[in-house]
Chain A
Amino acid sequence: MIAVQGRPERVPIAAATAPRSGFQAERLLVIDPLTRRFGDYRIRELPQLFGPGDLLVVNDAATLPASLQVEPQLELRLVSVEADGSFRAIAFGAGDFRQATEQRGAPRPLHDGERLLFGSELAARVVHVDPQASRLIRLRFESSGAAFWSALYRYGKPIQYSYANQPLQLWDVQNRYAARPWAFELPSAGHPLTFEALFEIEKRGAALTHVTHAASISSTGSEELDARLPLAERYEIGTEAARALTQARHEGGRVIAAGTSVVRALEGHADRNGSVAAGSGETSLRLSSSYEPRVVAGLLTGLHEPGTSHFELLEAFAPKQLLLRAVDHAARTGYLQHEFGDSCLVLAGALLERLAA
């Protein structure tokens, strides 16, 4: 360990550079704010941490091919769909997926009314350029229905990541239970969840339900744009989910969210007392240490470095000092981060029984 002025240097968490094939062997760091402990597990052991009455909520959004190349030096990443059917997008300049977003060149200016051609069957018109951030635009595609969706899937690619060792295919960025393509980036907390694990969680008397949330871009490469994240993201909470949430609430079951997108949908939609009705809407809720969750008791997520917005969000569920110790342990013992990385469960009381045993 290298010490600088008596303080141990922070070790970065290594990146998982490709989708993983180690069926359920991915690691799971369990952080328990109640006992102020953390422990090493594997994803296959996740069901053991659930008990009767608990409720796991996943985001069933499939991931869109949200990256569109307009010109060799102009990429658009779709980031949201508006109520009027137009899309918001962020422009990226020279470079490709091997470069971190902050190292990409500035895109050429885009103009209101400009027509963008993505391929012979897909074109759009720029209908708005954000006055504060010219890389953020709104565009309207010229086609609709099956013609639009076929063309989007034909010309679009999944948003790529600089840490990946090869370009990601559409199937690399889908969760096993994905349905409607609402997400602009993979809701990655669900990626290691196998049906083996999901069925086992149910066998233990816990319940499983889903919301749909349009998880969007996590990094734009620009500080001023990043400061505006998360952008308003749409979500839908079905009657089945609302029923399951009400039941868990009445019976004292813990609600565990698979991913920050689920937290945002549930906390953003809940009323003051933490009750969640069926419905849909948009949320730009940003969670941090000052936020007190009203619905979600626990969070299954990836490993996140201190200083990121995801880490900040974790602070709504566990004290910072505990998180820092746990993440330092993770970094030093080879946990992997990013979309295909290892997992982390923050849940009060998760390690109680282990302690007693």
Chain B
Amino acid sequence: MNLNGKSVLLTGASRGLGRALAEQLARAGARIVMVARSEPELERIAAAIREAGGEAHTLVADVGRKQDVYPLAGAAAALVGPIDVLIHNASALGPVPLRLLLDTECEDLSHVLETNVVGPFRLSKVIAGSMALRKTGTILHISSDASVSAYERWGAYSVSKAALDHLSRLWAAELAERGVRVLSVDPGEMDTRMHAQAMPEADPATLARPADVAERIVALLADETVPSGSRIEAQSWRAA
């Protein structure tokens, strides 16, 4: 898929991997709607993208809130047209420091599931109908190695990412004959604010740079040989 001219909706676009994805997608010629919960940082990054000749629009929304999702989808389509690529990057870690399941409040688990599973489901539902009708489109879920490995204290986040991976496979199965590709990507450990919050003791020098991971993800999006329903580890993936 040539990303030039494609309309992309990207959540969690103000920091870390989301920011790097926005910058590189814009460089590839995509028309991007960047979403985050707060404006100033988001707008600053979008302004820099526009300065460099890219197309970037910003919408402030919390993907975990139903009241936010429909306005978000409507405004995005008004700005760049029907969405070709939807990237679910926003996610919530839950309270930090991370805690054992026995110390986790049910409400905290609910909140993490709202943001990391129900929110992406709702947004996909609003946008994938048009993709299925037009028989084109890509939905990308940003996952985590915590969705596969049972790391102590990563409970709420882990459970949500495992559910998100399976949601990705289910979308892929149901949309297999509709021309809509659905992928899940594990970006691996990166030097981001979220990683620092989860593992403050980690040495940033040992972690991947978000820009490098974003570059691989953009290549992955462009590579149509990657079958729908796949879960890919970005850091070990090589283009065919």
Which of A's residues lie within 8 Å of B, judged by CB?
58, 60, 62, 64-65, 145-146, 149-150, 152-154, 169-171, 174-181, 195, 198, 208, 210, 240
Contacts and interface: CB of A to CB of B under 8 A. Distances in A.
Contacts of B33: 146
B57 A145 contact: yes
B183 interface: no
Interface centre among B71, B81, B134 (most CB of A within 10 A): B71
Contact of A178 (B58, B59, B71, B129): B129
B187 to A, nearest CB: 27
Nearest to A62: B74
Contacts of A198: 133
Contacts of A180: 77-78, 81-82
A170 B133 contact: no
Given A153-B71, A170-B71, A62 B77 contact: yes
Interface of B: 33, 57-60, 66, 70-71, 73-75, 77-79, 81-83, 126, 129-130, 132-134
A279 B73 CA distance: 25
B57 A146 contact: yes
A154 B71 CA distance: 8
B129 A149 contact: no
Nearest to B73: A62
Interface centre among B57, B58, B129, B132 (most CB of A within 10 A): B129
A146 B75 contact: yes
A165 B226 CA distance: 49
Nearest to B130: A179
Contacts of B59: 146, 149-150
A210 B134 contact: yes
**Per DSSP, are chain A's interface residues mostly helix, strand or loop, or mixed?**
mixed
B78 A60 contact: no
A171 B129 contact: no
A154 B57 CA distance: 17
**Per DSSP, are chain B's interface residues mostly helix, strand or loop, or mixed?**
helix
B133 A153 contact: no
A178 B130 contact: yes
Given A170-B71, A174-B70, A174-B126, A146 B133 contact: no
Contacts of A181: 74-75, 77-78
A198 B129 CA distance: 11
A309 to B, nearest CB: 28
A60 B71 contact: no
B133 A60 contact: yes
B129 A150 contact: no
Given A177-B129, A195-B132, 7 more contacts: A65-B74, A150-B60, A153-B75, A170-B74, A179-B82, A181-B78, A198-B133
Contacts of A175: 129
Given A170-B70, A171-B66, A171-B70, A146 B130 contact: no
B75 A149 contact: yes
Contacts of B71: 65, 150, 153-154, 170
B58 A153 contact: no
A178 B75 CA distance: 13
Given A145-B79, A146-B79, A171-B66, A64 B74 contact: yes
B75 A177 contact: no
Contacts of A153: 71, 74-75
A288 B141 CA distance: 49
Contacts of A176: 129
A21 to B, nearest CB: 16
B130 to A, nearest CB: 4
B118 to A, nearest CB: 14
A53 to B, nearest CB: 18
A149 B78 contact: yes
A58 B83 CA distance: 18
A212 to B, nearest CB: 9
Contacts of B73: 62
Contacts of A64: 74
B70 A60 contact: no
B77 A179 contact: yes
27 contacts: A62-B73, A62-B77, A145-B79, A146-B33, A146-B79, A149-B74, A149-B75, A149-B78, A149-B79, A150-B59, A150-B75, A169-B70, A170-B70, A171-B66, A177-B133, A178-B126, A178-B129, A178-B130, A179-B77, A179-B82, A179-B130, A179-B133, A179-B134, A180-B78, A181-B74, A181-B75, A181-B77
Contacts of B60: 150
B129 A195 contact: yes
A49 B54 CA distance: 48
Contact of B133 (A62, A174, A210): A210
The 7 residue pairs across chains A and B that have the minimum distance between CB atoms? A153-B71, A179-B130, A149-B75, A179-B82, A177-B129, A177-B133, A146-B57
Nearest to A212: B82
A233 to B, nearest CB: 17
